[in-house]
Structure 1
Amino acid sequence: MPESTTWTGVGRDAPLDFTGPAWDRLTRLRGKGTVFARDLHAREAWATLAEVLGAGTAYGFAERVAVMWVRPDAFAAGAARRLLDATQEAGFRPVAARRVRVDRCAVRALWAYMCRWATVERLWLLDALVALGPGLLVLWADSTGEPASVRLSALKGSNAPHRRTGTSLRDVAGAPNRLLTMVHTTDEPADVVRELGVFCPWPQRAALVAEAARNLAGGVSCPLAEAVAAVEDELPPLGLPEPTTGAPALDELVAGSLEQRWAALWAASGTWPLLTRVPGPAAWSEQETRSPWR
């Protein structure tokens, strides 16, 4: 693995290949590789992995590492530390962590393929959620032999409370509905690559990947306490708001104190419509058969 995180191939005799990898090696879903081969975030992030690690090693990295974003609602609710503890108790090892703030454009990029059932109100609520403050991006290693992202996604649990088993990470966090889900994880190795391209600009992404690869190879964990404290400095635990009657107005989500906005978001997440009856187009064939109404 190169020691440097600079981009030695850019603009020289051996430019990076921004067309990306053989995506079908990183996904189990028919047609998804074709979509990701045209996705700018996926292509750019693969270029980072290939430059920092080498293309051959990058495939193994995407298999062995899972990406988790402990979201602002988890920090506001006071559930972030429980989530991290439960993930480690399940056998995952943190290999890199960063405080990450997401804006409304990143919201749409992150869930570009999965929001086909989202109402406009749901997008507004997600914008209000990320405006609360930063979250914590953690890269986790898993040594079970299964792709780390696949196992962590199963542990995460459904965004619909009635579909959970009672032992998922979202149960641990007390996620109340489809909007305040507390934690986001990558579904499979292809998504590990793409979402590194959404969460981090190139220099920070290169440093994050290099750190994770060193800790992965050395069998060591990265400390989480300092990164958690950095998020809590901006977004301290607020607890669960008192129940209210009626739905808040849109301006209540963007005006007022942090506590007032959190209370409005909590109330709106339980009263505003989150699912549309007419979905947007599917990106790959598996999405055609996936419906949150079932």
Structure 2
Amino acid sequence: MASAPAPRDSRTPDAEVWRSLTVSPTKSELFTEDLYFRECWSDAVDVLGAPHGAAAGTADGGPAPWADGARAAADALAPLGLLSFKCDGMAARRAERTLRYLADQGFSVLASAPIRHNRHSMRELWRYNWHVYTTDRLALMTLMHSVTDSLLLIVRDERPEPAVPGSVRLADLKGSADPEARGPEHLRTVLDPPNKIINFVHVADEPADLVREIGIFLDRPRRRALLAEVRKADARAATRRAAAEVARLQDRIPASDFDLEAALKRIEPLTTPDALGRLHHAASGGTRLSWDELGTLLDPADPAVDVWDFVRIATEVLDADRPASADLLPPSSATEWRTATAR
């Protein structure tokens, strides 16, 4: 007699599968109880782990045994990467440049989905990173990450290294937000952001993060549709759809040059000479402003104030970071994955 399918709430990766999703024991422990990872992992096994020839995520042909489906899903996730454009990346018109970079580096687009952050989703996505931010910077992040719709991409590494997942190679290529810590080969260097706060794109660090982040970005019907698109692996059609979605979004989203001096010049008629002087002083390295002080000098809710001019100025005048430990879940690297595989 065939065994009954495992209840969805018991569908956690076993030790072997975890080793294909992350090199961090801490991450596997935390994600075992993480709501977003658990939900999306179950969907990933249903859709990506379905037997070949069966309708993904349906009962057609019967579901695979859970352990077999989990391993198949992990194998399917191995070459994948996740990249999402931040709102500033869309406004700065860096999406097309990013698509070209991905193709040049051997990544093909398999699926895309429009996304929009709210104050909760952004805090969940960066739960293990944003503890280093001041409350003033959190207020700024709430504004700048929820201004517009944006786009999520799932890509496949067409130049895979057996020991290194596609998400890890892509994360290494992304480069640091700190310009001093990245080289000319990194995506963020190619995108040329104005500072470390405005940096245009986000990338999932490992396969486990990719699963969790899809669970944050998309509800169940949309994420299962995205996973089904990944399973089809029609890169040519997916690339066309992503390019069309970029064009659609850019038609709706006003562009910004993210030039500090130009932004200060543009807001000159909208504030007082004294307020403008304080903004110039703070932006040139003088006394920092608080979020509330900044709002009295330049009101982001004023329809005449361009939101990206406000953001660009804010990134230079606020205290951004507080004394805190480094990332609570540090990103992995290709070197760590090679070492783990060699053990």
Q: TM-score band (shorter)?
A: 0.7 to 0.9
Structure 1 pair 16–122 and aligned structure 2 pair: CA distance change class (3 A): same
Cα drift, residue 132 of structure 1: 1.8
Q: What amino acid does structure 2 have at the position aligned with 1:237?
A: A
Which structure has the higher relative contact order (CA within 8 Å, separation 6+)?
Answer: 1
Moved more, 198-207 or 109-118: 109-118
1:239 matched residue in structure 2: 257
Spell out, residue by residue over 1:134-190, the C-alpha distance to the aligned partner (whole angstroms, 9 max, x if none).
Answer: 111000100313311011101111011111112211111111222111100011111
Q: Which residue of 2 aligns with 1:290?
A: none
Which residue of the partner structure matches residue 266 of structure 1? 312
Contact 2:194 2:258 in 1 (8 A): no
> 1:142 corresponds to which letter in structure 2?
D
Work out whether residues 87 and 200 of structure 2, in 8 Å CA contact, stay in contact via their aligned partners in 1. yes
Aligned twin of 1:159: 177
For residues 75-113 of structure 1, give each alpha carbon's deviation from its aligned partner in whole angstroms, at most 9, with x where no partner exists: 111222111211111110000011111111011000001
The aligned amino acid for 1:249 is L
Structure 2: distance between partners of 1:133 and 1:15:
38
Any idea what SS the aligned residue of 2:317 has?
coil
Taking structure 1 as the reference length, the TM-score comes to 0.84
Percent identity of equivalent pairs: 30
Other structure's SS at 1:67 match: strand
Partner of 1:16: 8
Amino acid at match of 2:138: L
Equivalent residue of 1:158, what SS? coil
Q: Identify which range, 196-205 or 247-256, moves more after superposition.
A: 247-256
Range with greater deviation from structure 2 (86-95 or 74-83) = 74-83
Tell whether the 8 Å contact from 1:122 to 1:179 is kept in structure 2 after alignment. no
Partner of 1:41: 36
Structure index of larger Rg: 2
CA contact (8 A) 1:32 1:284 kept: no
Q: For 2:322 and 2:72, how far apart are their aligned partners in 1? A: 41
* Whole-angstrom distance in 2 between the partners of 1:243 and 1:125: 17
After superposition, the Cα gap between the structure-2 partners of 1:177 and 1:185, relative to the gap in structure 1 and judged at 3 Å, is same
- TM-superposed CA distance for 1:279, in Å, is 4.1
In the TM superposition, what whole-angstrom CA distance separates every residue of 1:187-213 from its partner, at most 9, and x where no partner exists?
111111111111111100000011012
**Structure 1: gaps (5+ residues):** 1-11, 287-294
Match of 2:141 in 1: 126
Tell me the residue number matched to 1:175.
193
Give, in whole Å, the separation in 2 of the partners of 1:155 and 1:181: 14
Shift of 1:30: 3.0
CA distance in 1, matches of 2:235, 2:328: 40
**Residue 51, structure 1, aligned to residue 46, structure 2:** yes
Higher helix share: 2
Which residue in 2 is equivalent to 1:249? 294
Deviation at 1:284, TM superposition (A): 7.9
Query: Cα RMSD over matched residues?
Result: 2.5
The verdict on how the C-alpha distance between 1:254 and 1:37 changes in structure 2, with shifts beyond 3 A counting, is farther
Please say which of residues 201-210 and 161-170 is displaced more in the overlay: 161-170
- Distance in 2 (CA, whole Å) between partners of 1:285 and 1:236 is 33
Q: Deviations over 1:12-45 (max 9, x none)?
A: 9754245521334311123211011111111111
Instruction: Indicate which of 66, 73, 76 corresponds to 2:88.
Output: 73
**Partner residue, 1:202:** 220
| Structure-2 separation of matches of 1:134 and 1:259 | 20
Distance 1:283 1:172 in 2: 26
- 2: CA distance, partners of 1:110 / 1:281: 13
Match of 1:191 among 205, 209, 230: 209
Mapped contact 1:135–1:231 kept (Cα < 8 A): yes
- Structure 2 gap segments, 5+ residues each: 50-69, 265-279, 283-288, 333-343
Match of 1:275 in 2: 321
Check 1:19–1:80 CA distance in 2 against 1; reply closer, same or farther (3 A cut). Answer: same
Q: 1:82 and 2:73 equivalent?
A: no
Moved more, 95-104 or 254-263: 254-263
Question: Match of 2:86, as an amino acid?
Answer: R
1:91 touches 1:142 (CA, 8 Å); kept in 2?
yes
Q: How far is 1:230 from its partner?
A: 2.5
